[in-house]
Structure 1
Amino acid sequence: MLTVEGLEAAYGDSRILFGIDLHVKDGEVVTLLGRNGMGKTTTIKSIFGMLKPRGGRVAVDGTDLTGAEPHKIALAGLGLVPEGRQIFPTLNVEENLRATARPGKWDLAGIYGLFPRLKERRRNMGNQLSGGEQQMLAIGRALMTNPRLMVLDEATEGLAPLIRADIWACLTKLKAEGEAILVIDKNVDALTKFADRHVVIEKGRVVWTGSTAEILATPDVKDRFLHV
């Protein structure tokens, strides 16, 4: 579904990505792992056209979308839950959800069924929500685009343990329903409970890739590339 080959990116004269390769198949959950500052968010920005790649290729179902405008990436079937949530603070919950809605499986009823707390808070403005509620809203907003691939940048960063558990349960349910997911998060133990494959990057390069069984059988991967 998503294919990234040889992706290169820079901010001005500072090169950040040096040939990133990754792919996500329909219905597959893939993680993008690495310490802070290693290029994970830059990879996501480059995939979504928010940062124009310096080289390489981004394709969806074989269609080259390298450097395309973000709205074209969204129309191709990719939905983003960005780092920092970035919900619309002066719109209420329901307005945030409707703002990105496209026809398909996911509608307001479906989002409220997934996150009942959002239904309770549907008239509250975005800036009146807790961090956990904002993350639920960011996920719901992405789902309302009815994407074929959900991309989450820092899925549970800064959230309380109970809210984190809710987010993991949500992603597990989405996988069971056939949603393809690309997720960045630091909680490797939680990710290995439902992800299929893992891509580890270090200083803008892929240094390891493998299945959940392989990463569990290779504990030195976490020691070498993921621990602070």
Structure 2
Amino acid sequence: MTAVLEMVGVTGGYGPAQVLFGIDLAVHAGEVVALIGRNGMGKSSTIGAALGLVTVTGGRVRVDGTDVTGAAPHRIARAGLGLVPEGRQVFPGLSVHENLVATARPGPWTEARVHELFPRLAERTGQRARLLSGGEQQMLAIGRALLTNPRLLILDEATEGLAPLIRRDIWAALARLKAEGLAILVVDKDLKALARLADRAVGLERGRVAWAGPGAALADTGGAARRLVGV
């Protein structure tokens, strides 16, 4: 089966600073993969390398079997990768509606479907994004990514800093997206929630893959995955 995203032996970094050392990572259609590790271990850089935002100096990045190594970020996005960035990065001066349609592409995901997934956004469609709560901004960032109609949804810190009830809503939405067959690559520190959602997990340490296993293994409080996210 061709992977939606495949990274093979990827090395890369920022200028002369190498931060990735032979990353192997794949996400197949309908699959949820969790990417875990402590802060500074290469999770965001791995996502950036996949999206063309971090310079790849070795290895290959493929989307649906097509080599996109070194391609411009907008071309990789159009190939089918949708990003929910760390810190949400919504357009603060635009309304909820304007944020959603700003980067929308034709496909099954519509503004009405996003409203159905996140009713809070429907209630605030004319409100400026800067006036939303952090949780509502995260819903907006997810909705904006879905409206690009991606083959793979990538979330960098899916629920970081959010209130418990909002986190619950986000995890429920991701479970629904999985049930609908959307491939998802998700970074988060909530291993218990990830264990319920992820089919597989990959753990990074100092820019290298240090562990890989089934998503259910993330629930093991004495396992290797816990060591990778521990202080």
User: TM-score under structure 2 normalisation?
Assistant: 0.96
Partner amino acid, structure 2, of 1:198:
A
What does residue 60 of structure 1 align with? Answer: 63
Q: Which of the numbers 137, 141, 146 marks the counterpart of 2:140?
A: 137
**Partners in 2 of 1:223 and 1:108 — Cα distance?**
38
Give how far 1:51 is off: 1.5
Q: Which of the numbers 79, 85, 99 marks the counterpart of 1:96?
A: 99
What does residue 178 of structure 2 align with? Answer: 175
Give the % identical residues: 61
Where do 5+ consecutive residues of structure 1 fail to align? none
**Partners in 2 of 1:146 and 1:89 — Cα distance?**
22
Q: How many positions carry a matched residue from both structures? A: 228
SS in 2 for 1:222: helix
Per-residue CA deviation, residues 19-57 of structure 1 (Å, 9 max, x unaligned), is 000000000000100000000001111111112211111
What does residue 111 of structure 2 align with? Answer: 108
SS in 2 for 1:53: strand
**Partners in 2 of 1:110 and 1:94 — Cα distance?**
13
**Counterparts of 1:33-48 in structure 2 under 5 Å?**
33-48=36-51
**Partners in 2 of 1:11 and 1:104 — Cα distance?**
35
Per-residue CA deviation, residues 139-169 of structure 1 (Å, 9 max, x unaligned), is 0000000111000000001100000000000
Contact 2:192 2:218 survives alignment (8 Å) = no
Superposition RMSD on alpha carbons, in Å? 1.2
Give how far 1:12 is off: 2.4
SS in 2 for 1:192: helix
Partner amino acid, structure 2, of 1:14:
A
SS in 2 for 1:22: strand
Contact 1:150 1:182 survives alignment (8 Å) = yes
Moved more, 43-52 or 154-163: 43-52
**Partners in 1 of 2:218 and 2:192 — Cα distance?**
10
**Counterparts of 1:189-228 in structure 2 under 5 Å?**
189-216=192-219, 219-228=222-231
Give how far 1:224 is off: 2.2
Partner amino acid, structure 1, of 2:174:
L
Give how far 1:212 is off: 2.2
What does residue 129 of structure 2 align with? Answer: 126
Where do 5+ consecutive residues of structure 2 fail to align? none
Give how far 1:216 is off: 4.1
SS in 2 for 1:86: coil
The answer to whether structure 1 residue 70 and structure 2 residue 97 are counterparts is no
SS in 1 for 2:56: coil
Q: Which of the numbers 163, 168, 191 marks the counterpart of 1:165?
A: 168
Contact 1:47 1:67 survives alignment (8 Å) = no
Per-residue CA deviation, residues 149-201 of structure 1 (Å, 9 max, x unaligned), is 00000000110000000000000000000000000000010011111000000
Moved more, 133-142 or 56-65: 56-65
- Consecutive aligned runs of 4 or more in structure 1 exceeding 3 Å deviation: 213-218
**Partners in 1 of 2:120 and 2:6 — Cα distance?**
35
SS in 2 for 1:224: helix
